[in-house]
């Protein structure tokens, strides 16, 4: 059944910010897409400061509220709010006990309680997705949460995708964007965006680009600081420029405009897939190197050619070889790979539709 015929609900989304580009970005996209699907959404966040540039009109969005995390423990706030039909714990955060206790005391039945997990292409995701998780202690003892795993294949929770995304992309003026942001790009040169943490091989990439017609656009924050540090030891820098902070739509436009995108974390990986341009993913590093297996699983799902696998492994510190040379032939191979992956994803239900179907009556969910 079309998603607009599924029952409208009120949603509480909880987010604690570790990486404000990623955690907050995913939650804001989720909130906005739920709202666009006819839902009412409240987002509780411990640090909403990045919304000032990520979503500068956030306070004026209809049917959406952004509330401070601390307010979820204030009886005065809770008593004034209509109870939500769905609670979402994003990325392993734990709901404030006062919020849970108020919910238990003020309602006859528990809300749908979803533990929204991190994105992974690993095989165990399909086994874990949708499993119940009984609450064993605390004021909600006896209630049940549900694990919800975003993913790339059938049997997972899918990926966030706005209904109007492809229409927006088709109407995008790529040439005008490139002229505005890289007017000095030489004929035959590639336009490359850089959004990363601090890869140890960044100086190697900058050295490879030096002396070419390629132009590097560096995003603000940690990527810009890393590039500036690397350039101090280079006698001959590449052609490059710094980009300002932009909202989420502006970030999409950057990905659409560039010939190659270096992206990091979860949110920008998904946006790079929808963009359909060649990309290299800087996965969030973990102390026990658990991210290595996660990256390999993604590359396997992507059906990445050997050159793209090698570049990813070197970029993520798993291999010490030289970076493959970025040229048009290399990007042609990578583009075919990305287009195939995007086509597979477009044949699946997006994450919001799957969330809404998860606990809908069976006659409506089909």
Annotated catalytic residues are 23, 266
Query: CB–CB of 127/133 below 8 Å?
Result: no
Query: CB–CB of 51/24 below 8 Å?
Result: yes
Query: CB–CB of 254/193 below 8 Å?
Result: yes
DSSP string, 85-119: SEEEEETT----HHHHHHHHHH-SSPPEEEEE---
Q: Using CA atoms, how far apart are residues 11 and 223, in angstroms rounded to an integer?
A: 34
Burial 341-357 (b: 16+ CB within 10 A, else e): beebbeebbbbbbbbbb
Q: How far apart are the first and last CA of the chain?
A: 6
Q: Using CA atoms, how far apart are residues 63 and 85, in angstroms rounded to an integer?
A: 15
- Written as six digits, the tokens of 177 are 């964007």
Q: Tokens 């979820």, residue?
A: 72
Phi, psi (degrees; rounded to nearest 5) at 67? -120, 150
Cβ-Cβ contacts under 8 Å for 182 (sequence gap 6 or more):
191, 215, 217, 241
Cα–Cα distance list, 345 to 157, 338, 351 (Å): 12, 11, 11
Q: Using CA atoms, how far apart are residues 71 and 45, in angstroms rounded to an integer?
A: 10
Q: What is the largest CA-CA distance in the chain?
A: 70
Q: Tokens 């179907």, residue?
A: 357
């Amino acid at each position: 059944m079309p998603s607009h015929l599924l029952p409208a609900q009120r949603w509480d989304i909880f987010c604690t910010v570790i990486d404000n580009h990623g955690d907050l970005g995913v939650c804001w996209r989720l909130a906005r897409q739920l709202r666009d699907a006819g839902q009412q959404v409240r987002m509780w966040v411990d640090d909403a400061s990045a919304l000032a540039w990520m979503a500068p009109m956030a306070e004026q969005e209809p049917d959406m509220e952004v509330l401070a995390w601390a307010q979820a423990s204030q009886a005065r706030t809770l008593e004034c709010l209509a109870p939500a039909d769905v609670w979402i714990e994003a990325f392993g955060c734990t709901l404030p006990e006062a919020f849970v206790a108020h919910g238990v005391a003020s309602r006859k039945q528990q809300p749908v309680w979803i533990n929204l997990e991190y994105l992974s292409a690993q095989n165990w995701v399909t086994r874990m997705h949708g499993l119940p998780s009984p609450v064993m202690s605390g004021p909600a003892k006896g209630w049940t949460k549900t694990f919800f795993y975003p993913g790339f294949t059938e049997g997972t929770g899918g990926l966030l995708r706005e209904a109007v995304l492809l229409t927006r992309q088709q109407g995008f003026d790529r040439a005008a964007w490139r002229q505005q942001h890289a007017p000095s790009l030489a004929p035959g040169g590639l336009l490359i965006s850089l959004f990363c943490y601090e890869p140890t091989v960044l100086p190697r990439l900058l050295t490879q680009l030096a002396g070419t017609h390629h132009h590097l656009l560096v995003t603000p924050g940690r990527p810009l600081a890393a590039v500036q540090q690397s350039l101090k030891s280079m006698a001959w820098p590449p052609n490059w420029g710094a980009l300002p902070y932009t909202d989420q739509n502006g970030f999409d436009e950057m990905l659409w405009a560039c010939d190659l995108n270096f992206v990091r974390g979860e949110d920008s990986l998904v946006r790079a897939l929808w963009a359909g341009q060649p990309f290299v993913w800087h996965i969030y590093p973990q102390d026990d190197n658990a991210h290595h297996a996660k990256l390999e699983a993604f590359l396997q799902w992507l059906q990445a050619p050997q050159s793209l696998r090698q570049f990813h492994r070197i970029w993520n510190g798993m291999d010490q070889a030289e970076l493959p040379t970025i040229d048009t032939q290399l990007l042609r191979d990578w583009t075919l790979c990305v287009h195939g992956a995007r086509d597979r994803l477009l044949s699946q239900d997006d994450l919001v539709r799957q969330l809404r179907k998860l606990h809908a009556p069976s006659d409506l969910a089909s």
